Amino acid sequence: MDKETQKKLWIVTISVAALVFFFIWARNIDSRALENLGITVSLPLFTFIIAIMDGFNPCNLFVLTFLLALLISVSHSRKRIYTIGYIFVLMVFAIYFLFVAAWLNLFKFIGFIDPLRITIAIIALIAGIINMKELLFFRKGITLMVQDGAKPKLVQKIENMKEVIKKGTMPTLIVASIGLAAFSSLVELPCTAGFPIIYAAILTSKVLESSFAYYLYLLLYNAIYVLPLAIIIGIFGWTFKGKKISKETMEIIKFVGGLIMVALGIILLVNPGLLALS
């Protein structure tokens, strides 16, 4: 066993032990005791934390960095790079918003009843464990990454952008960018489904002043979700240095995201009162 594998095993072992202690703590702690101590998390802060973790998902990062690396290799026009990049972000924002809104409306229709809470908890636990295993078994067995069957088509669509980037008019570039972003967003949904489902369920459990307030939180969630992508585009366009996200980085992102999903699943399962956000 090489040193890198040993290091990963230690990380997994320590993380699993931490989750066991967290489970024991979450099951026995009284949420009211935490409130009395002033240990609460506001809904806006909770939204930011979950959305930013969701935003650092390797599927979106893979597609975007692959696309930007291709852009920079064939064109040094900041205008074209920013046009394609930010259209990609806007389309991801729009499709993701509709995706999360659909779950929110479904949960509002059903109501945040115990069977729903337990179902979401189980989904969070399963999705989290699948994501955590990527650290040791990357893309092996069941995975919530871009599926192997869809990946060649996605890469081909990105490669097809070359001629459009070089010679296409701005309207052609915009249309091609919208098509690529829409296709990649749909292909990536299995990779990103965990956090938005969990967030939509938790948001449903909150009593807000109006229906409009729920959608304001969804807008906030999605704006934070695409923030890492927007920053990456700005950096790439300014420096003209393209680098695809590495396998090691994707492993770490999936593992950390999975760890948080499992923790949320444990809370929803054994002590949902801990999510009584202020």
Mean pLDDT across the chain: 81
Among residues of the chain, what percentage have pLDDT more than 90? 18
167: in domain: yes
Between 182 and 119, whose confidence is greater?
A: 119
When pLDDT is cut at 50, 70 and 90, the band that residue 33 belongs to is low
Least confident of 3-12, 31-40, 134-143, 209-218: 31-40
Domain span at residue 199? 42-270
C-beta separation of 271 from 27 below 8 A: yes
Pick from 39-48, 69-78, 172-181, 192-201: least confident: 69-78
Q: How many domains does the chain have?
A: 1
* Distance between CA atoms of residues 73 and 80, nearest Å: 13
Which of 9-18, 141-150, 165-174, 228-237 shows the lowest mean pLDDT across its residues? 141-150
pTM over 0.85: no
- 17 falls within a domain: no
CA distance 43 to 214: 11
* Residue 11 falls inside a structural domain: no
Q: Tens digit of pLDDT for each residue in 104-122? A: 999 988 887 888 888 888 9
> How does DSSP assign 70-119, residue by residue?
HHHHH---HHHHHHHHHHHHHHHHHHHHHHHHHHHHHHHHH-S-HHHHHH
The answer to whether residue 221 sits within a structural domain is yes
> Does 18 map to a domain?
no
Structure-model confidence comparison of residues 247 and 87, the more confident one: 87
**Is residue 226 in a domain?**
yes
Coil vs helix vs strand at 15 = helix
Q: Report if residue 20 sits inside a domain.
A: no
Question: What residue type is assigned to position 224 of the chain?
Answer: I
Q: Which DSSP string do the residues of 127-166 spell out, in sequence order?
A: HHHHHHGGGTSTT-SS--SS-TTTHHHHHHHHHTHHHHHH
pLDDT, greater one: 92 or 277: 92
Closest CA to 187 of 273, 65, 99: 99
The top-scoring range by mean pLDDT among 7-21, 109-123, 128-142, 179-193 is: 7-21
pLDDT at residue 150 greater than cutoff 70: no
What is each CA distance from 177 to 97, 99, 158, 161, in whole angstroms?
A: 19, 20, 9, 8
* Mean pLDDT along residues 178-188: 77
What would the pLDDT profile of 198-218 be if each residue is shown by its tens digit?
999 889 888 788 889 999 999
